[in-house]
C-alpha cells in the first residue's frame, strides 16, 4: 500500500537588515524573528524549512489548529523584505 505524505506550505517573511544580516519569520504563526548567522545564509531556505517543521510539530503535538496560510501577495512587506513560500512534507 502506497502512502502519500502530507504537504504543509506557509509564507515566510525574510528581512534584510544589513549586507550580511537577515532574519525571517512565519507571520501566520506569529513567530518571532529568527536571525541568521553569516554561516547560515547559504542555507537560508533549509533553515526556514527546519523552523517551519518545528512550529508545525509544536502545533500538532499540542493539538492546536493550524493557521490558514496567507497568500504571498497578501503579506505586508517593505522594501527590505521578501516573501517566500516554504513547503515541507510530513515524514
Q: What is the 3-state secondary structure (H, E, C) of 8-58?
A: EEEEEEEEEEECCEEEEECHHHCCCCEEECCCCHHHHHHHHHHHHHHHHHH
Nine cell digits for residue 29: 504563526
Q: Rounded to two decimals, what is the model's pTM?
A: 0.88
Give per-residue pLDDT as tens, 36-83. 887 888 899 999 999 999 999 999 999 999 999 999 999 999 999 999
- Other beta carbons within 10 angstroms of residue 65's beta carbon come to 6
pLDDT value, residue 1: 53
Amino acid at each position: 500500500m502506497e502512502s502519500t505524505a502530507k504537504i504543509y506550505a506557509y509564507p515566510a517573511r525574510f528581512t534584510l537588515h544589513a549586507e550580511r544580516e537577515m532574519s525571517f519569520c512565519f507571520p501566520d504563526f506569529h513567530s518571532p524573528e529568527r536571525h541568521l548567522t553569516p554561516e547560515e545564509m547559504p542555507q537560508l531556505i533549509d533553515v526556514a524549512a527546519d523552523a517551519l517543521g518545528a512550529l508545525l510539530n509544536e502545533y500538532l503535538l499540542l493539538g492546536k489548529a493550524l493557521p490558514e496560510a496567507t497568500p504571498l501577495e497578501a503579506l505586508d512587506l517593505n522594501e527590505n523584505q521578501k516573501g517566500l513560500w516554504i513547503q515541507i512534507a510530513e515524514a
